[in-house]
Structure formats: structure tokens, C-alpha cells
């Protein structure tokens, strides 16, 4: 029987034929693609012809085309719609991929060809993009151990294989803890909950096969429950389950896994000649070194903590007024903060959500992209991996630009959070290859026939991930390995966080924030109050984020901790973490840094990028038009289309003329008065 993953695709825009792909197809397809990639790499390394940019660097770009196609399809589906078979295959595939990568980077004949080109680079007449790709390729090989030999090379291979296995296990343990817990709600548990939350709990109960409504550990359910439930006992129960993910003992406990990951990362860095993993990891980022990251975090921490502590005193008085003695607890903060917001800003989120329909917010993000970059979005009928997925063709002036896919609703088979990925990346080496971009979110799914309603934070998440999507869609480089979001980790969040600002443009909300029942636009006074409250509770949000970023940094500096939980406690004590606020991501469920290498020693990057995004949006404000075509064209030319073909700082400087300071960030978060 023909494996559809290995045959030509006749679907619209060469999308994966999801209607023909079965779980049993993935394993054989990955093995075949790995064999093909190995043969291609061997052919490049062992050829008799002297090295040239074309027969070495460009040849490497295409060596894993089939493998990339199969893996992007597999991981795109496995992350958003997991099954036991897919989870088992992920555990099986991770060490295979690690072994393949280790073989490539340890291939001395291949590296010798790269090194020859590097030494002769001045005589090669390379374009700027080619010179950049050569530098990045050589640097990647060196940082992956190409210069190691003998027992050191063998040990690095063992470390990378083990890390791949541990990262996969960490993420799957977290998904299991989230999937297996639910809290049934009787009539008393539903009291006081807004209709949208009661409906979402009912839908969750139906999906779980429960007898009635339930609260699960999907953020789209547990966060609003903590925000609205007057039942302090149930809030405490739900909060305890939420923060204990990955730390419940038994097979899904992630604490020992985290310790082993940190130890192996440190050993890896030492083998490569670095003092610690943070120094190794940050060498290629905009920050450059751990000291720069720590200084940024401390500059923000002090005013954020001051603002949060002042807010906490107000919320504690509200708690006591309700007849509860003792301190304000973490499961109290969101509830009393919401009550305070209603009082001070006259904003009821339940009423607000009626104006923030998912379909309308999708239309809003598309319309902003049209006005800024001339993009049009047309629905496409094609096979999908889950019925909730929607597909659009993206065009500009009638020409195909990309395919955009959206998978928006939470379900037990989807890992938590929100992310952007590609099923195909932009490149020109093998023809004008346009990307297939997937945004995945975890919004509460409404009962059938009812519109999906978002919180303002949900709507920001939607715009955030679409900003990543635009970075992929508007990419215009020759080589896939430096296209789209293949940039420094502390630069990759700039396009996503920048795009959030268009949600705050009044004319956007005036057009698209319409009532789900009446179709009437959001009242002007409500719109003004909502925008005025955009920085409400920012002390809390900043403290929980910075605490996580600082713990991540300290985990990877110096000797790794034998007990990460103890180290976490020490870092938080040194910071003076307020009692009623916890880290946004505690160690056992800190998937950003333990499910893979991506954000390890790099969780700070959201804030580093935020320093730029606040300043970047000011470029539009300075000319008095959030849709100024000249500024938008400059943004696309410098930041959005260049991928990793130019150093990140040079791209930003080309857009704004200089790098910004932390002041723009503090002002954007409303913390400048607390500084």
C-alpha cells in the first residue's frame, strides 16, 4: 500500500493529505526519510569535487527535504491532536532524530568542506545572504560539537540523545496530568459563574464524557474559573491542581527529569568549552550574555513588585471585607482583581466577552494585515487533521503568498498554550516555495450553535500568534534554514508582540467588536474603559513572568542544582516574591524550557522583544496613523521579510534607526510611575 506521506500530494496547495494519513504511516515514513537524508549527507561529504557553496552549503539545504515534510506534518498533528499512538511514536522518534543530527554534526568530512569554504570565504564572491548562511552553518556545526573528537564526541552524542528523550517525556507527562484531572461542578459550583463559563464547562463535561459540567486544567477554563468563582474552596482546589501539574508523584512527575536535563545541559556546555549552559545559549542571542539578561529582568522587577504589592494590599482588604481572615492567597488574586476591575473601571468581563467573538477577532486580524501589507484571506476547502481546523489562502494583488491554518479550541488531545508552526517554510532555492502556517490556540469551545467568545487576553493571544504567522508568511529569502522565524530567540517575539498593538487601535475594535446577539458595536464608553484598563493588574502579570524568567536564567548559570525545586525557592526568596503571586510556570510544568531547548535560558526573550515592540509601534504613532503605508512597508522590508539573513540588531536598527531602552517597556506596561 502506498504511504501518502511519501507520495506526491495532489491536495490544494500541496497540503498534507490528512484524509489519507493514518498513524501507522508516520513511523515508516520517518524511517524512509531519515535513510534518504543520510544518503544525501553522505553524498555531499564524500564527493570528489572540491567544495563549493553550491555543492556543499546549498546541497545541505535540500538534503532533508523529505524528512522536513514528514516531520512537520507529524509534529504539527501530534502537538495539536495527540493520541497514544502518536505519543508512543514521539518517544520512539526523538532519539532517532537526535542520533541523525549527531551523525551530521560529527561528520568530519562534511565539516572539513564547510571549514574550507569558511577559510576561503573572501574569494567566493558570495551574496550577503550566502555569506550569512555560511557563517551560521559553520557556527552551528561548531556549537554542536564538530570540533570534538573521541570520547568527548561520543559523550556529546549520548547527551543529546538523552535530552531528546527527556524533553519528549516531560511534555507528555504534562499533557497527561492536564488530561486526567477534572473537577465536576454541581449546582452550587455553578453559582456565580457567568454564562460563557458555565457553557464552556458544560462543553468540557460533554467532551470528557462526564455527567455534567466540569472544570479542566485547560487555561481557557481554569483561569476564568479562578477569576469568577465565589467559591473559595473550589478556587483553592482548582488552583492546587493547576500549579501541581508535573509534580504529583508517580510516572508523570517531572521533577527528577528537570534535574537531569539541567545536569546534562551543563555537561554539554562544558564539553563545548563554555562555563555554563546560559553562557553557551546566550552567545548567539541579542542579549549576548547572562549579565545583560539579569540586568533587564532586575530593571523591570523592582517597579513591577512595587506595583504588585500595592495592588495586593487593596485585594487583601477586599478579602477581609468578605469575612475571610488571614493573608491573600494565590487562588484569591484573580477573583478579587476581577471584582476590583469591575469597581474601578466599570468593566465586567462577562459582558465584555459578548463583544469579542472569535470569528470577528479573526476577521479583525485579517483586516489589519490587509490594511498594513495588502494581504487577502480566502477560505479553502481541503482535508484537515481535526474538524475544528480552518484553512485560508493568503494572496496579495492576486498572487499566492501563503496558506494559513487556524486550530483555535481547547481539547484534551491538545497540549496547553498557544503556538505558531509551519507545515512548509518559505524558500526560493527549490523554486518559489510559499509557506503553510499553522496557529494553534486553546480557547474554550462553546456549545454547538453558539459563538465562541474571547476574553481580552484571549484576543491578544490570537493577535500574538498571528504576528508570528505574518513573520512566516511575509518571509522573502532564498534559503529555508534562515527563513521566517529562524532568528535569534530574543528577536522572534518582536513581530508577535508588535502585532498585539493593533488590537488596541480603537477603529479596529469599533468595526469588529460587535455584540454576539444584537450585532451592535461595542459602546464607545465601554471601549474607552477597556483600553484604559489595558495595563490593569500589570504588576501581577509582570511579577509572575519575571520570576519565571529569573528562575530559568539561574537554573542555567553555574553548577546545575541537584534539587531544582530548592533552587527555585532560593531564587524566589532572593527576589522577595510576594506571597500571593506564584511563578507563571513552576519548574515541573515549565514546558518552555524543559520540553525542548528552544526557550532554555531564554524565557526572558519575551521581555527583551517587548522593549523593542513598544518602541516599534511608536513608529506608527509618531506619524499619526497606525496603518501608515510607508511605515508598514519599512517594517516588512526590514523585520518581517528578512528572516535570519541579517543580524537581529541590524534589522531593528534599519527600521527605527537605533535600539530602544527599557523605558518604553515600563511605559507600555504602565509601570513607569512605579519605577
Phi, psi of 460, deg, nearest 5: -65, -40
d(CA 491, CA 471): 11
CA 157 – CA 383 distance, rounded (Å)? 39
Q: Which of 633, 623, 675, 624 is nearest to 654 (CA)?
A: 633
d(C-alpha 608, C-alpha 489), whole Å: 10
SS3 204: helix
Catalytic residues: 465
Closest by alpha carbon to 522, among 355, 332, 311, 366? Answer: 355
Q: How far apart are CA 85 and CA 96, in angstroms?
A: 17
Measure the CA angle with vertex 67, ends 61 and 71; round to 5°.
120
Pick from 144, 640, 253, 606: nearest CA to 417: 606
Distance CA 619, CA 10 (A): 44
> Residue 83: phi, psi to the nearest 5?
-135, 165
Grid cell digits, residue 355: 463583544
Kindly give the residue spans of alpha helices, DSSP state H, lying in 244-289.
255-271, 277-282
Phi, psi of 403 (to 5 degrees): -115, 130
User: How far apart, in whole angstroms, are the C-alpha atoms of residue 415 and residue 424?
Assistant: 21
Q: Are strands 399-409 and 390-396 parallel, antiparallel or unpaired?
A: antiparallel
Report how far apart the first and last C-alpha atoms of the chain are (Å, whole number). 66
DSSP secondary structure of 487-522: S-HHHHHHHHHHHHGGGG-HHHHHHH-B-TTT-PBP
Question: What is the grid cell recorded at 409?
Answer: 479550541
Provide the pairing of β-strand 436-443 with 399-409.
parallel
The residues, ordered by sequence, that sit 6+ positions from 486 with a Cβ below 8 Å of its Cβ are 643, 644
Helix (H) or strand (E) holding 401: strand 399-409
**Rounded CA gap, 258 and 590, in Å?**
9
Helices and strands of the chain, counted as H and E runs: 28, 7
Question: Cell numbers of 310, please?
Answer: 500595592
C-alpha cell at 492: 522572534
Cell numbers of 490, please? 530574543
d(CA 66, CA 155): 29
Are the C-beta atoms of 359 and 542 separated by less than 8 Å?
no
552 neighbors 604 (Cβ within 8 angstroms): yes
Helix, strand, coil share (%) of the chain residues, nearest 5: 60, 5, 30
Joined together, the cell numbers standing for residue 469 give: 504567522
Amino acid at each position: 500500500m502506498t504511504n501518502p506521506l511519501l507520495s506526491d500530494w495532489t491536495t490544494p496547495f500541496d497540503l498534507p493529505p490528512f484524509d489519507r494519513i493514518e498513524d501507522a504511516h508516520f513511523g515508516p515514513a520517518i524511517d524512509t526519510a531519515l535513510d534518504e537524508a543520510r544518503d544525501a549527507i553522505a553524498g555531499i561529504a564524500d564527493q570528489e569535487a572540491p567544495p563549493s557553496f553550491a555543492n556543499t552549503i546549498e546541497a545541505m539545504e535540500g538534503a532533508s527535504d523529505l524528512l522536513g515534510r514528514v516531520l512537520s506534518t507529524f509534529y504539527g498533528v501530534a502537538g495539536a491532536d495527540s493520541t497514544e499512538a502518536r505519543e508512543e511514536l514521539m518517544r520512539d522518534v526523538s532519539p532517532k532524530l537526535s542520533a541523525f543530527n549527531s551523525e551530521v554534526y560529527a561528520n568530519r568530512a562534511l565539516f572539513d568542506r564547510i571549514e574550507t569554504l569558511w577559510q576561503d570565504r573572501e574569494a567566493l564572491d558570495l551574496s550577503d545572504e550566502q555569506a550569512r548562511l555560511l557563517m551560521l552553518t559553520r557556527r552551528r556545526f561548531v556549537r554542536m560539537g564538530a570540533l570534538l573528537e573521541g570520547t568527548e564526541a561520543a559523550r556529546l552524542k549520548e547527551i543529546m540523545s538523552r535530552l531528546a528523550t527527556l524533553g519528549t517525556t516531560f511534555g507528555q507527562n504534562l499533557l497527561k496530568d492536564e488530561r486526567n484531572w477534572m473537577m465536576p461542578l454541581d449546582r452550587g459550583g455553578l453559582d456565580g459563574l457567568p454564562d460563557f463559563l458555565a457553557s464552556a464547562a458544560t462543553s468540557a463535561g460533554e467532551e470528557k464524557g462526564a455527567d455534567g459540567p466540569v472544570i479542566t486544567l485547560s487555561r481557557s477554563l481554569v483561569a476564568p474559573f479562578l477569576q469568577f468563582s465565589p467559591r473559595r474552596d473550589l478556587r483553592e482546589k482548582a488552583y492546587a491542581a493547576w500549579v501541581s501539574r508535573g509534580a504529583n508523584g508517580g510516572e508523570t512527575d517531572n521533577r527528577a527529569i528537570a534535574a537531569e536535563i539541567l545536569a546534562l545541559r551543563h555537561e554539554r556546555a562544558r564539553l563545548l568549552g563554555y562555563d555554563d549552559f546560559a553562557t553557551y545559549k546566550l552567545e548567539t542571542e541579542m542579549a549576548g550574555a547572562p549579565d545583560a539578561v539579569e540586568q533587564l529582568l532586575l530593571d523591570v522587577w523592582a517597579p513591577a513588585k512595587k506595583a504588585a504589592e500595592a495592588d495586593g494590599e487593596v485585594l487583601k482588604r477586599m478579602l477581609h471585607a468578605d469575612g475571610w481572615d488571614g493573608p491573600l492567597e494565590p487562588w484569591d488574586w484573580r477573583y478579587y482583581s476581577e471584582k476590583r476591575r469591575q469597581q474601578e473601571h466599570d468593566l465586567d468581563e462577562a459582558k465584555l466577552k459578548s463583544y469579542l467573538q472569535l470569528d470577528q477577532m479573526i476577521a479583525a486580524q485579517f483586516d489589519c494585515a490587509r490594511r498594513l501589507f495588502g494581504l487577502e484571506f480566502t477560505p479553502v476547502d481541503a482535508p484537515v487533521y481535526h474538524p475544528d481546523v480552518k484553512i485560508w489562502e493568503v494572496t496579495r494583488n492576486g498572487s499566492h503568498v501563503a496558506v494559513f491554518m487556524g486550530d483555535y479550541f481547547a481539547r484534551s488531545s491538545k497540549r496547553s498554550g498557544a503556538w505558531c508552526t509551519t507545515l512548509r517554510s518559505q524558500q526560493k532555492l527549490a523554486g518559489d516555495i510559499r509557506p503553510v502556517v499553522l496557529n494553534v490556540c486553546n480557547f474554550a469551545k462553546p456549545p454547538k450553535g453558539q459563538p465562541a467568545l474571547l476574553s481580552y487576553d484571549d484576543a491578544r493571544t490570537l493577535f500574538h500568534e498571528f504576528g508570528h504567522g505574518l513573520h512566516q508568511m511575509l518571509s522573502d529569502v532564498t534559503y529555508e534554514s534562515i527563513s521566517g522565524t529562524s532568528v535569534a530567540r530574543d528577536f522572534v517575539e518582536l513581530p508577535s508582540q508588535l502585532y498585539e498593538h493593533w488590537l488596541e487601535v480603537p477603529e479596529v475594535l469599533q468595526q469588529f467588536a460587535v455584540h454576539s446577539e444584537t450585532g451592535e458595536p461595542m459602546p464607545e464608553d465601554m471601549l474607552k474603559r477597556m483600553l484604559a484598563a489595558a495595563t490593569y493588574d500589570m504588576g501581577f502579570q509582570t511579577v509572575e513572568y519575571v520570576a519565571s524568567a529569573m528562575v530559568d536564567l539561574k537554573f542555567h548559570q553555574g553548577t546545575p542544582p541537584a534539587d531544582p525545586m530548592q533552587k527555585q525557592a532560593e531564587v524566589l526568596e532572593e527576589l522577595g516574591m510576594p506571597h500571593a503571586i506564584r511563578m507563571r510556570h513552576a519548574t515541573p510544568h515549565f514546558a518552555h524550557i524543559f520540553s525542548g531547548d528552544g526557550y532554555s535560558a531564554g524565557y526572558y526573550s519575551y521581555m527583551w522583544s517587548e522593549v523593542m515592540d513598544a518602541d516599534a509601534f511608536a513608529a506608527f504613532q509618531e506619524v499619526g496613523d497606525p496603518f501608515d503605508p510607508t511605515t508598514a512597508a519599512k517594517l516588512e522590508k526590514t523585520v518581517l521579510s528578512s528572516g535570519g539573513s541579517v543580524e537581529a540588531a541590524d534589522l531593528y536598527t534599519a527600521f527605527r534607526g537605533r535600539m530602544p531602552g527599557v523605558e518604553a517597556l515600563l511605559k507600555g506596561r504602565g509601570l513607569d510611575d512605579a519605577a
